Amino acid sequence: MADDYSHTVGRDRLVEVYTQGMLADRTPEIPPSFEELEAAAEEALDDEAYAYVAGGAGEERTVGANRRAFDRWRLVPRMLRDVAERDLSVDLCGNEYPAPIALAPIGVQSILHDDAELASARAAAELGVPFVQSSAASETLEDVAEELGDAPGWFQLYWSAEREVTASFVERAEEAGYEAIVVTLDTPVLGWRERDVDLGYLPFLDGEGVANYFSDPAFRDLLADPPEENPDAAIMQFIDVFGDPSLTWDDLEWLREQTDLPLLVKGILHPDDAERAVECGVDGLVVSNHGGRQVDNAVSALSALPRIVERVGDDATVLFDSGIRRGADAVIALALGADSVLFGRPYAYGLAIDGENGVREVTENFLADLDLTLALTGHDSVADVDRDALVPAAEWRPDRGADAEW
C-alpha cells in the first residue's frame, strides 16, 4: 500500500467504495464525514471516554477556533497541469515518508479500544504512515515498536519531573528503533478540561495510560514496591512525576544532548519560541495547540503557522496539527508552509468504532481525500504546494494576488 502513493491512492479508494456500493450493495461501515464519525464514536464509547477525547480546555473556544481558522482560506483549483500521477512523498528531518501525514500522539488508547495503541500502530504500519507513540500510552513503546516492525514510528516524550525517567524514555525509544523524538512542551501541567472536571474523570488514576512508566527501570527505582504489588502508590508516583513546570529553554539544550535522533518540539505557537527552539538545535517543530486541550481561547494553530514558517521554515522541519479533519485542511496547511500534518481525533474515533480496521479506514479516507484535493487543485506533488494555492476567503481580490492582507 505504502508504495502506491506515488500513483493514485485517491482514485483507487473511490473505485473500491463505489464498486462495493454498486456491485455488492455494501456501503462503508466507517462514515467518511468527520461529524458522523464523531457521533458514531460517541455512541460506541462510555460518557467518560468520549468526553476525554472530544473535550478541550475551558469553554472549548480553542477547539472551535482551530476549525474556523481553515474557513479564512480558500483553495484555488488550477487546470491542465498534468496531475496523472501524484507524488505524495515528503522529506522530514532527513527521512523520506510516503505521504505528508503521521498519526498524532494520542495517549490512553485503552479507553477507546482493548487493542489500544497496538491496533493504531498496525493500521499505520499497513499504510506506511508514521505512528507517533505517546509517553502516556496504554501499551509500552517496545510492544508498539514490535507491531510497527519496519514501518516508521516516532516517540512522543512527556518530559518528566524526574530527569532519569526522561533520559530513560529517550534511551528506550532509541533502542526500540523509533526514528525521531517529539517532545511536547505545551503540557507542563494538564489543562482545565471542563468535561473531565464535571465527570471527575482522569483515566490515569484508573491505571490507564501508564504502561511506559510502570515498565521503566528509572521510574520503578522511585517506588518502594513494584507497580504490580502496589499499583495505587505507583499511580500516585506517576501523577507526581508526569510533568515538569519548572523547565526552561536551557533544559532543551540538555535534551538535545541526550540523543542523536532528530528532535522535534511540539506545541509551538509563537515565532520567538520557534526561533529559540531552533537555536537549541532541534530539527523540527510541531505547530499545535494540543487540539485545544490546554488553553481556552488560545490562538488557533493554523493562524500561528504562517509566521512561524516565515521565521524558521528554512532551518527546521515544520509539522502542523490541531483541526485537521479532511484532505482540504491538509492541503491548506501545506500551502501555508507545513511540511506534513498530524492526524489526531479522527483516527481516535476510528479506533473507538472498529479498532485497527477503524483506524485504517479513517486514515485511508483521509489520504484519498488529500490525494484527490492535490490533483484537483493542480498539484502533482506535495513539494509543489505553496501559497499560490490559496486566497484569503471573502476578501480575495485577484488584482492583489495570494498575498492580500486579511
Q: Which residues would be at the binding site for ligand FNR (CB under 6 A)?
A: 52-53, 104-107, 134, 136, 156, 184, 266, 288, 290-291, 321-324, 342, 344-345, 348
Taking the least distance from each CB to ligand FNR, the nearer of 107 and 284 is 107
3-state secondary structure of 389: helix
* Chain centre to alpha carbon of residue 310: 22
Quote the least distance from Cβ 184 to ligand FNR, whole Å: 4
Is 290 labeled as catalytic in the residue annotation?
Answer: yes
Set 7, 113, 270, 290: catalytic member? 290
Quote the least distance from Cβ 85 to ligand FNR, whole Å: 29
Is residue 83 a contact partner of residue 374, using CB atoms and an 8 Å limit?
yes
Is residue 278 a contact partner of residue 316, using CB atoms and an 8 Å limit?
yes
Neighbours of 80 (CB within 10 A): 6
Taking the least distance from each CB to ligand FNR, the nearer of 8 and 340 is 340
Residue from 289, 279, 340 nearest 312 by CA: 279
Grid cell digits, residue 268: 509551538
- Three-point CA angle 310, 398, 306, nearest 5°: 15
- Cβ within 8 Å of residue 43, ≥6 positions away: none
Taking the least distance from each CB to ligand FNR, the nearer of 209 and 378 is 209
Q: How many residues are present in the chain?
A: 406
Is residue 312 a contact partner of residue 285, using CB atoms and an 8 Å limit?
yes
Beta strand pairing status for 317-320 and 340-343?
A: parallel
Taking the least distance from each CB to ligand FNR, the nearer of 86 and 364 is 364
* Chain centre to alpha carbon of residue 348: 10
Taking the least distance from each CB to ligand FNR, the nearer of 41 and 391 is 41
Quote the least distance from Cβ 147 to ligand FNR, whole Å: 18
Quote the least distance from Cβ 102 to ligand FNR, whole Å: 10
Amino acid at 7: H
Quote the least distance from Cβ 104 to ligand FNR, whole Å: 4
Q: Which residues are catalytic?
A: 290
